[in-house]
Amino acid sequence: MSLFARIAGTGSYLPPKRLTNQDLVDQLAAKGLESSDEWIVERTGIRARHFVDDGVHASDLAFEASRRCLAAAGKRVSDVDLIIVATSTPDMVFPSTASILQHKLSLAALSDGDDEGGAGGAAFDVQAVCSGFIYAISVANAMIQTGAATTALVVGSEVFSRLLDFNDRGTCVLFGDGAGAVLLEACEHDGSGPGILATDLHADGKYCDILCVPGTVANGRILGDPLLKMDGQAVFKLAVGVLEKTARAVLEKAGKTEADVDWLVPHQANIRIMTSTAKKLKIPIDRVVVTVDQHGNTSAASIPLALDHGVRAGDVLPGQTVLMEGVGGGFTWGSALVRM
């Protein structure tokens, strides 16, 4: 018998404010910038996205997604001994968003009558931009397999709207805010049961400048540019190639083939990247979970958001094999193969 980390529950949350393409087109027009709903949809597949209100942070979105995830898994906060939050938009420089989330969950648990609260287990952030959730779930899987944790809450949460340059029509229409979560728990079986079957992670820092926010905080002020910069063509070209490679690599590690994949749950960045990857893997588009049209690119939140959407829609079912993959700034990329 081997030790696996199985997905016991999923959850997600989107802030109430929903902006259609036309809403953004009107905002751009007020600045003298031209765009259109047709232009955005044709190039990205995005039709709408959600933005947070002032005063709402990544930990707030993570909190809502986590509570829904715990409810779906039938678990209490006190059952969790590891929290990992994947985010590029933390609440503050430090402490980690995961620590802040742990505190909010513990307070909620106590108010709900759980005397044990939920504090005490390890909590930390992972920063790999849009690949962050894949990195985080890989770390949690390794910790469960080594016995360092038994029940892990893994969350992707982003407020990318605060990094956007609304004078750049090429990037401000792409991103949205949201959070998604999964609860992993240790289980033993002979390899035929549920669990993470394999993961695959990569990075190549020489591409760090094609997608970045080149600013930092120093001496009480911002140094550099705190807004998102992207070379769209370079990102597209690199993403299509590495996503196919990591998908094939994780399948090989697990002793599986493309034919064994029931669902592809990719990072929701651009519908053209997603369909191109699916085509290369010979996975029909109707077996790809797509939320980019309504969520935009929510960075580290996009994969768990899409997974939860698929689960709650009744599409992704127990026993099915799911291939998750992402690519993001760094340049980072990776994949995870999971039996639900």
Whichever domain contains 73, its CATH number is 3.40.47.10
| 235/155 same-domain check | no
What pLDDT is attached to residue 119? Answer: 72
Average pLDDT over residues 262-291: 97
Query: Is the per-residue pLDDT at 109 higher than 90?
Result: no
Last residue of some domain: 168, 189, 210? 189
Domain extent for 283: 195-339
What pLDDT is attached to residue 267? Answer: 98
What pLDDT is attached to residue 115? Answer: 64
| 41/156 same-domain check | yes
Average pLDDT, the chain: 96
Average pLDDT over residues 144-170: 97
What pLDDT is attached to residue 335? Answer: 98
| 310/204 same-domain check | yes
| 165/219 same-domain check | no
| 307/232 same-domain check | yes
Place of tokens 């993961």: 199
% of the chain surpassing 70 pLDDT: 99
Last residue of some domain: 143, 173, 189? 189
How many beta carbons lie within 10 A of that of residue 314, not counting itself? 7
What pLDDT is attached to residue 233? Answer: 95
Per-residue pLDDT band for 191 (boundaries 50, 70, 90) equals confident
| 177/323 same-domain check | no
Kindly report each contact of residues 103-109 with a partner whose C-beta sits within 8 Å and lies 24 or more positions away, as own/partner. Answer: 104/59, 104/60, 104/63, 105/63, 105/66, 105/67, 105/77, 105/80, 106/77, 108/63, 108/67, 108/77, 109/76, 109/77, 109/78
Query: Is the per-residue pLDDT at 253 higher than 90?
Result: yes
| 233/319 same-domain check | yes
Last residue of some domain: 172, 189, 206? 189
| 119/162 same-domain check | yes
What pLDDT is attached to residue 167? Answer: 95
Pure H helices in the chain: 21-30, 37-44, 58-73, 97-111, 132-145, 232-254, 271-280, 292-295, 302-312
Catalytic residues, by residue number, are 130, 267, 297
Model confidence pLDDT, tens digit, residues 59-80: 999 999 999 999 999 999 999 9
What pLDDT is attached to residue 229? Answer: 97
Query: Is the per-residue pLDDT at 56 higher than 90?
Result: yes
| 144/39 same-domain check | yes
| 171/224 same-domain check | no
Q: Which two tokens stand for residue 213?
A: 């926010």
Average pLDDT over residues 177-190: 97
Model confidence pLDDT, tens digit, residues 278-299: 999 999 999 999 999 999 999 9
How does 47-80 read in b/e, with b if 16+ C-beta sit within 10 Å? bbbbbbeeeebbbbbbbbbbbbbbebbebbbbbb
| 82/162 same-domain check | yes
Number of domains the chain contains = 2
% of the chain surpassing 90 pLDDT: 95
Model confidence pLDDT, tens digit, residues 193-222: 999 999 999 999 999 999 999 999 999 999
| 9/157 same-domain check | yes
